[in-house]
Amino acid sequence: MERISLGSFFSSEQDLEMNQYRILGGIKEINTDFEKKKIYPALASLIELKTSLEKICVERKSLNGRFPKIIKGFDTKEQKLIFTIPVDFEKYYNVEQIFELADWALPHIKVAIEEGIVLFEFVEKNISFQQVGILPMYKDEGYFMINDNVAFELQIHRYECSLFSSENEKYRALKTELVKSERQEIIRRSPESIKHELIKERQDLPNPATYICDTDLDFPFAETIFPVAKRKLMSIIAS
């Protein structure tokens, strides 16, 4: 079963029930990810899909008098429908069926998103951050340490926080680079000793903001623990 995406709503398949079956199958795959405690990229892609479908449904109101046209696709960058006029429009996909499919799918997608958000909030609640040593005034660059409880290793990442602006909003992005990872032994090195080692090895940050992330969860690291930790760290830096 293919992953659900915006393209699922612009299929050449003209049977509505078949399209509904395919879309339900895609949502089921995402729910399976959530059952396996895997949040990303499933949750982010589902939220993006919901936003795009809602935009499409809003555009429906401005389409009166524009038929016969078929929907060729959806410009995700401009958040607009792309239309084309067919030579023989009756042989093409019924544009109203796309709207009907979107209306039908949105409640199912929203339920799946709620499941993902519940999982996200649970993970976020069970992740904590502590500063290591003295925290400098400049916190947009630094290091953070995080345990991968499945692989039994400590990962040390360098981070850089950037601010982006659009017409109406400002966004923060956290870029990370894996510096090194080390096997967790019974006798562990202190976060302070690791920080001092980083300062010696990388002298471009003489007084880096440094954090350690702690969690008892053994959920998938790449798909859940790490991305949720990044978002939480970004909130801490911005506060």
pTM summary value = 0.82
Q: Is the pLDDT assigned to residue 68 strictly greater than 60?
A: no
Query: What backbone torsions phi and psi does residue 36 show, to the nearest 5 degrees?
Result: -85, 10
107 cis-preceded (ω within 30 degrees of 0)? no
Higher pLDDT, 76 or 214: 214
List the one residue out of 233, 183, 235, 184 whose CA is nearest residue 210: 233
Q: Is the pLDDT assigned to residue 66 strictly greater than 60?
A: no
User: Can you tell me the distance from the alpha carbon of 84 to that of 227, in angstroms, rounded to the nearest whole number?
Assistant: 40
Q: Across the strands, what pairs with 177?
A: 158
Which residue in this structure is represented by tokens 């690291």? 221
Sorted by where each begins, the domain ranges of the chain are 6-125, 128-238
List the one residue out of 146, 153, 150 whose CA is nearest residue 132: 146
Report the range out of 19-28, 57-66, 151-160 with the highest average pLDDT. Answer: 151-160
Least confident of 7-21, 75-89, 98-112, 164-178: 75-89
Round the average pLDDT of the chain to a whole number and report it: 86
Instruction: Name the band, by pLDDT with cuts 50, 70 and 90, for residue 188.
Output: confident
In this structure, the number of other CB atoms found within 10 A of the CB of residue 97 comes to: 15
Higher pLDDT, 110 or 6: 110
